[in-house]
A and B are shown apart, each in its own frame.
Chain A
């Protein structure tokens, strides 16, 4: 374990930051606020791609605004053309037998999570969630009054799911299993064998599977994505989440989707109509253009992320940090124990002295005190500069 560094006035994080350290969301936002006050900060924190929304999407939006389509309210479930395009994509690319009525368009993946937890979970229901995890899952489950049961994952497995860990946490109150692949923060891809094992457990215990596949297009060879809803007998019990923010660099447009059997989608639409309401038509036309236009940009972005990933992995290795084999998304979850500084303090130190924003692992689960999550969402020259600065600071404090 890390030694605790307590040198007064040096790298101990301020009390106001420490006071919110247990709340992953608040901690991340507080660090982002601090970074925003540093003019030359290199931000490797938030999962917001630095790349542009593709040009053909921008052109399509321009047309939709000019010809008035953006002014016409869309149905609560989403534009029918977009639902059809999502269903077609899921059928052909993910092998999930989806019809347009099985799709609901949402205000990003985060709203999708919120709505489906509200629709699915009663107070006292239990849902199994892999740990470490993005704190939005905690919040969505908390708002439904349900109980989150953490399923540990292990660095030695590259954070893949262990069926034995799932199985032993199932109780009569368990209603659902959350599968996140690729994972935020670990970048783990749940392997085909693990996906099949989860499916078998879900069927045997009559559980719902929520499969968050928002990073599905960001997977590095030789790993492959297996959509659990495509397995025999799984479509009827699986809710698949996806979106446009990460694949197409469209976080600002706030469009995601949920795919599940139509009777569940109908209820989800009723909850959406009575709570958050429909989403903006213009954003839906942006998503439609992204999905139905040329997909060359997806490969281009993938190549960019792949180069950045190699660069960061190399730099971390030079610093003595370990990272297993991050197989997806645009994150690296790295063990920084060799620095001798707890990750929470190290994150603050790197921000204050190196002007590099990296989130501590504790923002994704209290036990991850030696880990950092790095989002490689800056150009390569900035990433190289960030690594240099980090090395310099670590050299002074080791």
Chain B
């Protein structure tokens, strides 16, 4: 039996507010995270993701507080990413009410961090987030929200991170992010081929018809931000469109 495809709204948060920009630039205020989380929960979201887009040591307490207030009201899984640099950061987020943590740049800088987190909390808490773009005919991993390239091939990084203990992959296409032109289907299917863990597709959703192709390309879950925040689409719209395409969703 097949699991229903999860629909996950992502809230990019900064200083306790939701923000969204195009290609990670020009951030705009898009609302109150707790209020939006409750709305998505009521619409049938399968999980929630918070991404702290400018996490620094100074403003972490704002994020912990936000996570706690959300987890008190919304009884679905909550993943929190952004600024996670140590296993102790993970312990604090889980303690605040997060179920999973997203790990990105810090894992690229020090891959052993993946092993440390998986050994202490289990692979199932660790969502490895990759910001991927095309470069020189292949997919490479970028850092700093897509602004800086690395020499690391995305597929090599996926294989290594799963071996080290990543429990899930959040694959964000920098090329597609914010364009609303649809998910990067080549990227999703390339990652699916080498991944033994669930794959969450992210970046590029613009209409209800964009989601089913991502699932056919191999996504176990689909993630989007701005189309939900601006009220263009509801979670229900996306699920109905997928169901009409023969894809199993949780009603």
Co-assembled chains A and B? no
- B residues touching A (Cβ–Cβ < 8 Å)? none
A contact set with B: CB distance below 8 Å: none
